[in-house]
Amino acid sequence: MKTSIRALAKQHGFMLCTFCKPVIDAQNQVALDTWIEAKMYGEMDYMAEEVRTFRRKNPAHMLEGIQTVISLAMPYTPAFPHQARPEQGVIASYAHGDDYHEVMKKRLKALARDLDVLMGEHGQRVYVDTAPVLEHALAASGGLAWQGKHSLSIHREHGSWLMLAELFTTANLSPDAPASQHCGTCTACLDDCPTGAIVAPYVVDARLCISYLTIECKGFIPLELRSKMGNRIFGCDDCQLVCPWSQGVEPPENDLLKPREHTLLPNLAKLLRLDDAAFRAMFRKSPVKRTGRAGLLRNVCVAMGNSGHLDFVPDLLAVLDDESALIRGHAVWALAELAHDDGLVAEKVGLLKKKEENVQVLAEIAYFRGKYEH
C-alpha cells in the first residue's frame, strides 16, 4: 500500500513521500517552547497563540481519529551562486516561479482524492505551510529528511531545495524509520548568515532573519540590520548556498515551480517604478505578491541604499511623495546612504520634512539630516 501511495504522490509532483505517527517528540516540543518564550517570532504573534502552540505539539488534535501523517516534498530549482550587479535585486529561489502554496495545495487535494479510491474513504486533512504543523519535525520522524542546523529539512539527494506538505489521514499505515543527522561538525550556515540570525544550531531568530525582514515584517526594517541585507529583496538563500548537502544539486526534471525570467535578478529601478496595478500584474500567482507593493518597494529601497549606485538617486527622489510611508521612509534612508552630502538631495528631503506627518518617516529624515550635517 505504501509503495502504491508513493507512486501516486510522484504522479502528482511529490518526489518524496514518507509515513510517521502523529507525534512530536519531547525534544522538538521543548525547542518550540524555548523559541516562543524568547519571542523569536517577531511580529508573527500568531506563532505564540496557545491553541496553535498546542496543535503544533499535538498533531493528533488536527484530525479526529488520525492514524498517520504522510509527509511529502516537492523539489525546486536550486539557487545559484551569483554576483548580482548593483542595479539588480535577489529573490529567493523558491519564489522564482508560481506560488508553492497554490501549486502544492491543488496537487495535494488531488492526491487525497486518489487515496480515497486506492484505500477507501478515510478522514483526511491536507496542509501546505499555513497550518500550525511542525512540518520539519514530522518529515524527520518519517525519514523524509533531517533538520539541518539552519532549521530547514535536508535530503541526501535534493539538499534543502524542497517544499514540504502533509496529508493527515485516519488510514493506519506503518511508520517509516526516522531520519538520521548528517550535519556533523559543520557550521557553514551559522557562520555565513549575513545577520547572524542562526543564533545556535537549529535555532533561527526570525527578528534577525532576512527572509522574515523582507516578507513577514510589515513595518520599518530595524536600522541596524539594513546594511546587512545587501540586495536581497525577497527572502534569502545564503544558508542553503553554503551547505555542502545543497551544493551541486540538479534541478528537478519537471519543476512545477519553474522560475520566471523576470524574477531572476530583476532591475531595482524598474521595480521601484511599479504602481499597484503593475505590481499585481508582474507578480500574479507569485509568492512575492505576499509583501504587497509597499513591502517589496521598501526592500528595493534598502537594496538601492546598499548598492553604492548613485544612478538610483533620481528614482529614490521620485518616490519621496509616494502614498506609502513605508516607501517614503526607506527611500530617505537609501538617499542618506548614497547621497547625504548632495545639496539638492538635502533640499528635497527638507521639503518632505515640512509636510511629513508620519513619525517614523520623520525619524528617517532626522537620520538623513544627521549624516548631512556631520
Give the up-direction half-sphere exposure of residue 190: CA atoms within 13 A in the CB hemisphere: 11
341 is catalytic: no
Number of H helices, E strands in the chain: 16, 10
Diameter of the chain by CA atoms? 75
How many whole angstroms separate alpha carbon 258 and alpha carbon 324? Answer: 32
Indicate which residue of 25, 114, 129, 176 is catalytic: 129
How big is the chain by its Cα radius of gyration, in Å? 23
Give the other-Cβ count within 10 Å of 366's Cβ. 12
Find, among 147, 167, 291, the residue nearest to 218 by Cα.
291
What does the CA dihedral 356, 362, 367, 370 come to, rounded to 10 degrees?
Answer: 70
Helix (H) / strand (E) element for 191: namely helix 188-192
Give the other-Cβ count within 10 Å of 299's Cβ. 31
> Count of residues for the chain?
374
CB 10 within 8 A of CB 165: no
Give the other-Cβ count within 10 Å of 185's Cβ. 4
DSSP 229: S
Cell 499535538 sits at which residue? 58
The residues carrying an active-site annotation are 129
